[in-house]
Amino acid sequence: MTFHPTTARRGKTADTLFVGSVEKAFAVLRAFRAGQRDLGLRDLSLSQISQLSGLDKSASQRFTNTLVELGYLEKDPQTRRYRPAIGLTEFYYTYIVSNRLAEIAMPRLIEASKAFGTTVNLCEPSGTEIVYTIRVPHEKAFFRATVPGRRMPAYCTASGIVMLAHRPEAEMEAILKASQYRPITRWTVTDPAEARERIEAARRDGYAVCAQQAIIHEISTAAPVLNSEGRAFAAVQVPVYMPEWDEDSVREKIVPLVIETARAISGSYFVEH
């Protein structure tokens, strides 16, 4: 559970055990994430899969057909477009039930959600991004904010900032260097220097509060889950929304409970692990 300098494969020519065809199959699957994120599409044509995966059309067709046969993609017989199939959910289930952190965190996240009256999330690092691995949703949350597995940039999200703040300096710098500074909202930080300032503040304060960085009207608070050496390997994150909340009320009422929840998970993980 560590940040890597990039989500791309490292040592591409040196690793003789690496199977390129497996990489291509996953490139096809990842094309659907890119289609949803960048194009707003729930399904893709073969040409779109080829474009988004970087594979030629012949290879895309072979890998796509294989994934349909295995139950990981499905094809609409009328439109001839492809979409993710229910078989993909087995990977998330396998990850979560094998993850001791998830087992320890879940009851504490549920308890925190009841106390906050809002959604509470557990985030983990992945490359230059953070992943929402557990989400305890609240009735006010919109759909995509309730779905586990969503990825967001680390450099501009509260969870990413607190995890970067509690990593070695060289590792943090590698992540920032590899990040793509693109605006998600009109308020998203896109200046690496400002991102570093926010990380330094989180290192000093032990938490981060971000307003409208990833979602309009959302104020996100996060605190790190730390190992015995003080390195972050996860974060507890709580989103609330304007105008019901402002940054001052978040710091007064939400921040202490987020820190308390993250510390409880940290303590229990290393006692029980």
Spell out the domains of the chain, with CATH numbers in brackets: 20-89 (1.10.10.10), 99-272 (3.30.450.40)
**How is residue 122 written in tokens?**
């557990």
pTM reported for the whole predicted model: 0.86
Residue 145's pLDDT is what? 72
CB atoms near residue 126 (< 10 Å): 16
Mean pLDDT across 49-59? 96
Residue 40's pLDDT is what? 84
CA distance 202 to 224: 10
Mean pLDDT across 45-69? 96
| pLDDT tens, position by position, 122-180 | 999 999 999 999 999 887 667 777 889 999 999 999 999 999 999 999 999 999 999 99
Beta strand ranges found along 60-128 (DSSP E): 73-75, 82-84, 120-126
Check whether 13 has a pLDDT greater than 80: no
Hey, CA dihedral for 45, 51, 53, 54, is it positive or negative? positive
CB atoms near residue 40 (< 10 Å): 7
Q: With contact defined as beta carbons under 8 Å apart, do 125 and 161 qualify?
A: no
CA distance 261 to 110: 10
Check whether 61 has a pLDDT greater than 80: yes
Q: Which long-range contacts (CB under 8 A, 24 or more apart) does 246-253 make?
A: 246/219, 247/209, 247/211, 247/219, 250/209, 250/219, 250/221, 251/209
Q: Of 177, 92, 101, 160, nearest to 126 (Cα)? A: 160
pLDDT band at 263 (very low <50, low <70, confident <90, very high): very high
Check whether 11 has a pLDDT greater than 60: no
Mean pLDDT across 240-257? 94
pLDDT band at 268 (very low <50, low <70, confident <90, very high): confident
Single-letter amino acid code for the residue at 136? V
Residue 169's pLDDT is what? 94
| Strand-by-strand arrangement of the 232-241 sheet | 151-153, 129-136, 120-126, 232-241, 218-226, 208-211
CA distance 262 to 163: 12
Convert 69-89 to b/e letters by CB count within 10 Å (16 or more is b): eeebbbbeeeeebbebeeeee
**How is residue 193 written in tokens?**
């220097």
Check whether 214 has a pLDDT greater than 80: yes
What DSSP assignment string belongs to 22-78? HHHHHHHHHHHHHIIIII--SSB-HHHHHHHHT--HHHHHHHHHHHHHHTSEEE-TT
Q: Of 105, 143, 145, 144, nearest to 238 (Cα)? A: 145
CA distance 234 to 183: 24
Per-chain mean pLDDT for the chain: 91
CB atoms near residue 160 (< 10 Å): 33
